[in-house]
Structure 1
Amino acid sequence: MHDSGEVADRHAAVCVIGAGASGLAAVKNLREHGFAVDCYERETSVGGAWNWRHDRSPVYAGTRLVTSRARTEFPDFPMPDTWPQYPDHTRVLSYLERYCAHFGLAEHIWFGTEVVSVVPAGDGSWDVTTQSPGGGASRVQRYAAVVVANGHNWAPYLPVFPGADDFRGRLIHASACKDPAQLRGRRVLVVGGGNTGCDLAVAAAQHATEVWHSTRRGYWYGPRYLAGRPVDQVLARRLPRRAAQWLYRRMLRLVVGDLTRAGVPVPDHRPFESHPVRNGELADYLYDGRIAAVPDVARFDARGVVLADDRHIEPDLVVAATGYRPRFEFLAPELLDTDAQGRPDLHLHAFARRHPTLAVVGLLQPDAGLFPLAHWQSVAVARWLRLYATDRDRAAQVQRRESTRPLRSWAPRRVVPTPRHWFEVESTRYLRVLEDLLSRLEPA
């Protein structure tokens, strides 16, 4: 229980944490299901990760979607047809701002307000403590439910590299690499084979004097377009998994070629068993020698980096595109059944298993755009909370049935076992399971 003096009771209202894409979808859908909503956003504007003005935004100058707009837009708010197939971050931010304005969401958002604590207050309610990000007086309010939408790409993960303290060059996380000018005239090593690592390696090839790209394993690097169409739309056609993997291999052989000739490791997994990497320029720079593919980093020394194959290179700037970790500093780990590595255990990556009035929206790594999944997740959360508030017996029946749903019904059968793939989902299968859940949550 929480005891910090006076608590303002908001009764049946729902607290939403974060006003990025997922938080905005949660506010909209909760409101449409009749809930009063207070959304708390530590920054002074909406957009979350897509707002480069925010301190925690991972966006850099060249950031754009890696999923096409048709597979990224909210289902009830399309992106303009005149936009490029893969909009850049400025367009995505303007899209979220227009979404917020169109549905009148700003009046429900408390900007410049950070949630510092969420604790159970009995009978499913929660005491939420907020304050200004710089500190100051705090305020405690009681809510019937809490929906967390604070994102999972804002807390950089920087591995402990042996010898890094002796390195005379500069080591930064990709989140600190905002402008290509930081790469100009430098000898740059980019560490990490995901979309960010590939994009930064390409940017370095355009501005730096020498570029190395270090990856731990081989990946299936694909183009953004195939026969003039966004590749994610071509691949969206339903095929048996093995057939789709065979087809994708054939496509990459024709379009990209054999990247092992450029020093890229052979992938140690089949296509679609890791998060898709889409970069149409990487292969060209690798074949041209503008980017040198190198293995994993073994250690640093004063002059440079020793690689896993004992080669020694001498970059003066190392950019670690090593990803992010989810952080829920305002929640005790046991509330989300978080393990020692920081991975929460949530049904559908959304519903807390032991707390029916606590949910997370947007904690997904899909093979298509996140926005439509966050939309339907938040619809499911809203319908669940409505059912829980009006018919707890039936809600308990739904919860018992959902608890027996096998993980394989909504999570990939096989993915590369790294934290990057903790929340990996196949969009089509995940949406199918959400559709089934939504049908069970309809009023009797």
Structure 2
Amino acid sequence: MSTSADYDSPTTGDDRWRDDRPISEQGENVCVIGAGASGLCAVKNLREQGFGVDCYERETGVGGAWNWRHDRSPVYASTHLISSKPFSQYPDFPLPDSWPDYPHHSQLLAYLERYADHFDLRRHIWFGTEVVRVEPAPGDRWDVTTRSAGGNGAQRTQRYAAVVVANGHNWAPRLPDYEGLSDFTGQVIHASAYHDATQLRGRRVLVVGGGNTGCDIAVEAGQQAARCWHSTRRGYWYTPKYLFGRPSDQVNAGLLARRLPRWLRQGVLHRLLRLVVGDQTRFGLPAPEHRVFDAHPVVNSQLVLHIGHGTVRPVPDVARLRRHTVQLADGTEVDPDLVVLATGYQPQFDFLDPRVLGVDADGRPRLHLHTFAPGHPTLSVVGLVQAEFGVFPLVHWQSVMVARWLRARSADPAATAALAARIEAGAGRPWHDAKVTDPARRWFEVSHVTYLRALQETLDSLEVAAR
């Protein structure tokens, strides 16, 4: 376990300097990194607990990944939510009733901008400013070094009472290292570079990846490309966006509300999907090797339709690339001129020493509740979760928990000792109900209800500590 004591002393006789850099003392203020959906929520809830907040955002506007104007945004022109409105809104700021069940990404950006304006958050945000380093300082404080985005201008170091990391986890592409990749004469792009269907029109396209993004792009390629192959490594459960005329996540939530045991809910959903989707193997799709809820399903109503129309051809995993072709795991070859790698993203915390978060070889930080860093009670991460429903309610209660933890700790550290011990003991524990397939890639998946209950237990403990 890493603690502040594991690092070289940040001072040399004068705590106003660090490595020949002057330090500006910010008292009890909190630093928030990122002004996306998680960062905005953190700023708002920290302010409600009475903290001064400086939020640093490298882009020029709020919204993070949902702001299509940002270079790092992964959204493409046709992106819609895959969770319906009740699970895609902050509890204290509902989405408009007039909006569709599954809003377009431009609507969600407008929602985040309204959220920032409604709670007067912009005046706490330093736009066009990136965080270069975050380093432990004496007294569980943090030295945060910033500069203008793009690397221009002088660096500035300020000392904060706490840091909340909300830099998102959908901006650093995860790229497979295929044999022969450098020799392939066609074009290879990651899904992060995909913007709209004009990139696919008239081309022979191989889409690699069976997640929601891969399925969306395969559907668009089925409509626009001359030919489309869709490569997946395993079988998935393909859930339509509507069941019985209702958003499918609301149907699932209805089963949860009836407190049905997990095995019974799985049986009900299995039967429903067999009735609605049918036997996937007759379409050439591999059968899932796991039960529903053992990994998050793919929410897509059109992929099977386009496979049935013959405009999308499912194929196995990629084995290697040759000069003009791609060899698949079954030995067959296809000849795309465009390969789209919908292979996900890797969370990155470039401004932190990996030891601070206990990051392992697979890039997984060791956190309690995907939030608290053992050994560093004033450092937390918000938004590093992925649920079968929307994440906005989760990040809201995450940030409420962080704000109340910091307030309780500053008011009476002794009263929060029990929770501090729980943070140390619970770091790295998964918060899902079953074994998640491919844990190296899906380690931050959580079960919505299980995780919310854990957050509520922590909030209850903080309320007791505050009395």
Shorter chain as normaliser: what TM range? over 0.9
User: What residue in structure 2 maps to residue 381 of structure 1?
Assistant: 402
The offset of 1:167, in angstroms, is 0.9
Mapping of residues 335-374 of structure 1, within 5 Å: 335-374=356-395
Structure 2: which 5+ residue stretches go unaligned?
1-9, 11-17
SS at match of 2:142: strand
Q: 1:57 aligns with which of 73, 83, 89?
A: 73
Q: 1:391 aligns with which of 402, 412, 426?
A: 412
Alpha carbons 2:38, 2:166 under 8 Å: kept? yes
Alpha carbons 2:368, 2:426 under 8 Å: kept? no
Structure 1: which 5+ residue stretches go unaligned?
none
Tell me the distance in 2 between the aligned counterparts of 1:437 and 1:429: 13
Offset from partner CA, 1:21-49 (integer Å, 9 cap, x none): 00000000000000000000000000000
Tell me the distance in 1 between the aligned counterparts of 2:280 and 2:290: 15
Tell me the distance in 2 between the aligned counterparts of 1:247 and 1:232: 14
Offset from partner CA, 1:355-401 (integer Å, 9 cap, x none): 00000000001111111100000000001101111111112222114
Offset from partner CA, 1:32-76 (integer Å, 9 cap, x none): 000000000000000000001101110011111000011110000
The offset of 1:413, in angstroms, is 2.8
The offset of 1:210, in angstroms, is 0.5
Q: State the TM-score, normalizing by the size of structure 2.
A: 0.93
User: What residue in structure 2 maps to residue 106 of structure 1?
Assistant: 122
The offset of 1:403, in angstroms, is 4.1
Tell me the distance in 1 between the aligned counterparts of 2:411 and 2:359: 30
The offset of 1:273, in angstroms, is 1.4
Mapping of residues 33-48 of structure 1, within 5 Å: 33-48=49-64
The offset of 1:221, in angstroms, is 0.6
Amino acid at match of 1:235: N
The offset of 1:242, in angstroms, is 0.8
Amino acid at match of 1:50: W
Offset from partner CA, 1:79-113 (integer Å, 9 cap, x none): 01111100010000000000000000000000000
2:5 paired with 1:26: no
Amino acid at match of 1:219: Y
Offset from partner CA, 1:264-321 (integer Å, 9 cap, x none): 1111111111122100001101112111000000001011100000001001100000
Alpha carbons 2:57, 2:126 under 8 Å: kept? yes
SS at match of 2:70: coil
Q: Say if 1:407 and 1:250 are closer, same or farther in 2 by CA, change over 3 A.
A: farther
Mapping of residues 35-434 of structure 1, within 5 Å: 35-135=51-151, 136-236=153-253, 237-238=255-256, 239-404=260-425, 410-434=431-455
Tell me the distance in 2 between the aligned counterparts of 1:366 and 1:153: 14
Tell me the distance in 1 between the aligned counterparts of 2:368 and 2:427: 10
Tell me the distance in 2 between the aligned counterparts of 1:153 and 1:82: 29
Q: State the TM-score, normalizing by the size of structure 1.
A: 0.98
Amino acid at match of 2:226: T
User: Greater shift after overlay, 253-262 or 180-189?
Assistant: 253-262
Amino acid at match of 2:141: S
Offset from partner CA, 1:106-153 (integer Å, 9 cap, x none): 000000000000001111100000001122201110000000000000
Tell me the distance in 2 between the aligned counterparts of 1:227 and 1:74: 26
Alpha carbons 1:412, 1:424 under 8 Å: kept? no
Tell me the distance in 1 between the aligned counterparts of 2:427 and 2:20: 41
SS at match of 1:6: strand
The offset of 1:407, in angstroms, is 6.9
User: Greater shift after overlay, 16-25 or 282-291?
Assistant: 282-291
Alpha carbons 2:183, 2:323 under 8 Å: kept? yes
Amino acid at match of 1:52: W
Offset from partner CA, 1:307-345 (integer Å, 9 cap, x none): 000001001100000000000000000100100121101
Amino acid at match of 1:174: A
Amino acid at match of 1:122: P
Amino acid at match of 2:354: P
The offset of 1:410, in angstroms, is 3.1
SS at match of 1:329: coil
Tell me the distance in 1 between the aligned counterparts of 2:140 and 2:428: 26
Query: Percent of pairs identical after alignment?
Result: 60
Amino acid at match of 1:165: S
Alpha carbons 1:409, 1:433 under 8 Å: kept? no
Amino acid at match of 2:333: H
Tell me the distance in 2 between the aligned counterparts of 1:289 and 1:250: 26
User: What residue in structure 1 maps to residue 13 of structure 2?
Assistant: none
SS at match of 1:235: helix
Amino acid at match of 1:416: T
The offset of 1:5, in angstroms, is 2.2
Tell me the distance in 1 between the aligned counterparts of 2:126 and 2:429: 39
The number of residues matched between the two structures is: 444
The offset of 1:3, in angstroms, is 2.6
Q: Say if 1:130 and 1:219 are closer, same or farther in 2 by CA, change over 3 A.
A: same
User: Greater shift after overlay, 4-13 or 190-199?
Assistant: 4-13
